[in-house]
Chain A
Amino acid sequence: MEPQGTALRHDALVYDSGDEWVELGAAFLRRGLEAGEGGVVAHTRQGLSLMREALGADASEVRFVDVSAAYTRPVRTLASYHAVYAEQLRRTPSLRAVADVQFGPDPGEWDLWTGYEAAFNRSFSHLPAWVLCTYATGSLPEAVREGVWRTHPGVVSGGTWTRSALFEEPERLLRGSSAARRPMQVLRPLPVVDGVEQFRELLARELVAERMPSARVLDMLLATSEVFVNAEQHGGGVVSIRVGRADGRFACEIVDRGAGFDDPLAGYLAPRPGVGAGLWVARQLTWCIDFFTSADGFTARIVM
């Protein structure tokens, strides 16, 4: 059986009622099953129950994923989906997914999740998957609804598929929504050590002194090691290291001599041949990582 495609197709379905979501979503999945594709439904428990009922006997061919607690930080959500898709793609040559995005109540975080949808286009661009992100129009604020059209090349609305005229290249959208960064003045300098092993020893002492839970110490050591090695190998060497608490979180800034890079998707691309996975790993393990150029040099800030 031949795959239906070799690359991602990322569309949105905006719907007015649960009945519409179930009807269109189930039909979308069934067409895939008939063609030998795998099926994934990602929703809250209620949505999963409705879709399971609608699919009837076909439900046994579909993987159901409860996403109630999956939408925490964008890259962690991407990693969760990546794991689900990876498992499915070991069984079928391609897949179709119906995924409900969990926007929250705080307008301050809407850009973050719109950015997640933009990054999705690139993160899984290599996967033979057709993902239909679903949005209940009645409960969504205008800014989020507009974001749907900006982040999905195609949108199904009123039962009709439309190519989105508002779709923006993900890099452009992400650059437009990211805030300017500056070095944190509250951080204290650490000696610049020779090699990543010494750096880990030094940073471990700082993290333990900060009473960071052990599991998270290891997460931070892994994440910062990736950045440190990047700075040594591609940034001309580490110039300075600063650590400390800022806004309640432990932060580490690593400054290198290089010109840096301007890639808002760095660390958002799911692992694939030819693409380094270091920043993908580092982002999964931390609260956030920012890159910026300051008077000190090209700076990576890793926040736990």
Chain B
Amino acid sequence: MTPVARLSPDEERDLVVAAELGDHEARRRLVEACLPAIVALAGTFRRTSRIERRELVQEGIAGLLLATRRFDPSLGTPFWAYASYWVRKAMQELVADLARPVALSDRAVRVLATVRAARADHLRQHGAEPTTEELSRSTGLPQAQIERLQAAERTPHSLEERVDQDGVAVATVGERIADPQAEWAFDDVLDDIEVGEVRALTDLLDDRERLVIRQHFGLDEPAQTLRGIATGLGVTAERVRQIEAGALAKLRASLARPAVAVPNET
């Protein structure tokens, strides 16, 4: 039984292809169909003090979306059989990254002390937490190193750790994490992932270029002729054609930029 077993093979293929093409609703349906299996996979990982199940599921969803972008239905493999590898791999990466034993060297401990001192200074002077960038400026350390040290010293919360309310233990941390299958808003996770990865080419265009492209090709609105668009903009149809050609050339150029300077060019 696969998570998307209630779909026919063609329906499953169409859903995965639509998700790969960026159809938000298709992604949502696919994640929803696979979520129980993702949660079940997350449950196979040994609970540690550094990783919450929610984090594992979040990584799993990212792994699933990666699978949609690689999956080739023509190879005949059922989607979940393929995707579960990437879901598990994404979770393993998180576990390996966060659950590594953190044994700070003497040098790292000294550096960490410098970071703590800089943080304390900043708090005293500004009354607010410094950003990593500010810490980097005040200590001269790379931001990545600061982030790593801070991650290493962050206080772990065990899933079995008791949570107190008014001095009375009321639940474990694990119990307070909502059950993803029942009520956890995976939509938020999906939105976060999509915001991070989806960047349409039209973002590179200015407002007028974007308007011409959308109206002429009928993107999210009825298509118009160049003359019709020209009337709206108060320019000639030829000018609209030039704007469109310029916009397409700009998009093309953004994808065709050489890596190294061309000889004899400035």
Contact = CB atoms under 8 A, between A and B. Distances in A.
Contacts of B17: 248-249
A109 B252 contact: no
A105 B142 contact: no
Given A104-B86, A221-B217, A247-B13, A281 B93 contact: no
Contact of B74 (A45, A204, A247): A247
Given A49-B97, A69-B66, A105 B255 contact: no
Contact of B82 (A49, A73, A105): A105
Contact of A72 (B69, B73, B90): B69
Interface of A: 44-46, 49, 52, 59-60, 64, 68-69, 71-73, 79, 82, 85-86, 89, 104-106, 108-109, 126-128, 197, 200-201, 204-205, 208, 212-219, 221-222, 225-226, 247-249, 270-273, 277-278, 280-281, 284-285, 287, 304
B201 interface: yes
Nearest to B23: A213
B256 A277 contact: yes
A284 B217 contact: no
Given A71-B70, A197-B241, A247-B74, A217 B260 contact: no
Interface centre among B74, B198, B258 (most CB of A within 10 A): B258
B73 A248 contact: yes
Interface stretch (B32-40, B165-173, B218-226): B218-226
B223 A208 contact: yes
B216 A109 contact: no
A52 B216 contact: no
Contact of B145 (A59, A212, A214, A304): A59
A6 to B, nearest CB: 10
Interface in B67-86: 69-70, 72-77, 82, 85-86
Given A49-B97, A248-B17, A222 B258 contact: no
A69 B223 contact: no
Interface in B2-30: 10, 13-14, 17, 20-23
Contacts of A73: 69-70
Contacts of A45: 93-94, 97
B21 A49 contact: no
A186 to B, nearest CB: 13
19 contacts: A44-B93, A52-B144, A52-B145, A64-B144, A106-B75, A128-B260, A204-B218, A205-B218, A213-B22, A214-B219, A214-B220, A215-B200, A215-B201, A216-B22, A219-B201, A270-B259, A272-B259, A281-B256, A287-B20
Interface in B189-218: 197-198, 200-202, 213-214, 216-218
A201 B229 CA distance: 14
Interface of B: 10, 13-14, 17, 20-23, 62, 66, 69-70, 72-77, 82, 85-86, 90, 93-94, 96-97, 100, 142, 144-145, 148, 197-198, 200-202, 213-214, 216-220, 223, 241, 248, 251-252, 255-260, 262-263
A188 B251 CA distance: 29
Main secondary structure of the interface of A (DSSP, over half): helix
Given A52-B144, A201-B216, A247-B13, A108 B77 contact: yes
Nearest to A126: B260
B52 to A, nearest CB: 17
Contacts of A44: 93
Name the 4 nearest CB pairs between A and B, nearest first.
A108-B75, A277-B256, A86-B259, A204-B217
Contacts of B14: 248
B144 to A, nearest CB: 7
B259 A218 contact: no
Interface centre among B97, B217, B257 (most CB of A within 10 A): B217
Given A49-B148, A85-B259, A281-B255, A213 B21 contact: yes
A208 B219 CA distance: 7
A55 B74 CA distance: 43
Interface centre among B13, B21, B62, B201 (most CB of A within 10 A): B21
Nearest to B15: A248
Given A214-B219, A218-B219, A281-B252, 11 more contacts: A60-B144, A68-B90, A72-B70, A73-B70, A109-B75, A214-B214, A218-B213, A219-B201, A222-B201, A248-B17, A284-B255
